[in-house]
Structure 1
Amino acid sequence: MKKRIYKDIKIRKLFKRYEIRRRLLLGLINDLSIPLEKRMEFVSQLNRLPRNASKVRTLNRCVLTGRSKSVYRFCKVSRLALRDLGSQGLIPGLSKKSW
């Protein structure tokens, strides 16, 4: 499980490093005032960037368990960890209904 967490952290760092370059190239590719040959050159530059530098490669993972499914964005915790923390009373504003 730790390996997946470290892999996701590595992908997030790579995305952060290439984010400006990727957005700049995408903006230039979509600009219709630039000639087609030049835009195709930008496409080839974009294809040379690492695949893991893309935003869609990142996953939301639970900060406590590393679980990738059913992670709540507002607290970055999975539903299982949220239930445990809620039953212990560690999340303010979360009350038990019928667990």
Structure 2
Amino acid sequence: MAKKSLIQREKKRQKLEQKYHLIRQSFKKKIRSKVSPLSLSEKTKMREKLQSLPRNSAPTRLHRRCFLTGRPRANYRHFGLSGHVLREMVYECLLPGATRSSW
């Protein structure tokens, strides 16, 4: 089980990412736009505004965590579970359609 403080920190990052998502997108569109070419100084101003946003609002700082344990590694997107929890659930026949493997 992951520490509760780490899970809460991740939830805080998710809220910040949702809050600043549209603002971040608009800055990036203005920087990349080819229709109305911006001068170099205007582009640098836009980049500075983008950098002035909170660091934790960037989507790359988010981690996918296990739904049950909060483990940040070895997660399967389809199930939302980490590898060892997924394996235990398959062995207990809690996931329909998943087959056990032995090696």
Same fold (TM over 0.5): yes
Taking the aligned partners of 1:53 and 1:23, their CA distance within structure 2 comes to 12
Task: Say yes or no: does 1:97 pair with 2:97.
Answer: no
Q: CA deviation at 1:5?
A: 1.0
Q: CA deviation at 1:81?
A: 0.6
Task: Say yes or no: does 1:12 pair with 2:14.
Answer: yes
**1:27-66 pair list within 5 angstroms:** 27-32=29-34, 33-66=37-70
Residue 18 of structure 1 aligns with an amino acid whose one-letter code is: Y
TM-score, with structure 1 as normaliser = 0.93
Structure 2: any 5+ residue segments left out of the alignment? none
Same amino acid, percent of matched pairs: 31
Residue 54 of structure 2 aligns with an amino acid whose one-letter code is: P
Runs of 4+ in 1 over 4 A off after TM superposition: none
Q: CA RMSD in A?
A: 1.2
Taking the aligned partners of 2:23 and 2:40, their CA distance within structure 1 comes to 20
Structure 1: any 5+ residue segments left out of the alignment? none
Taking the aligned partners of 1:44 and 1:68, their CA distance within structure 2 comes to 31
Taking the aligned partners of 1:49 and 1:74, their CA distance within structure 2 comes to 32
Per-residue Cα deviation, 1:38-75 (whole angstroms, up to 9, x for no partner) = 11111111111000000110001101001111001111
Taking the aligned partners of 1:91 and 1:81, their CA distance within structure 2 comes to 11
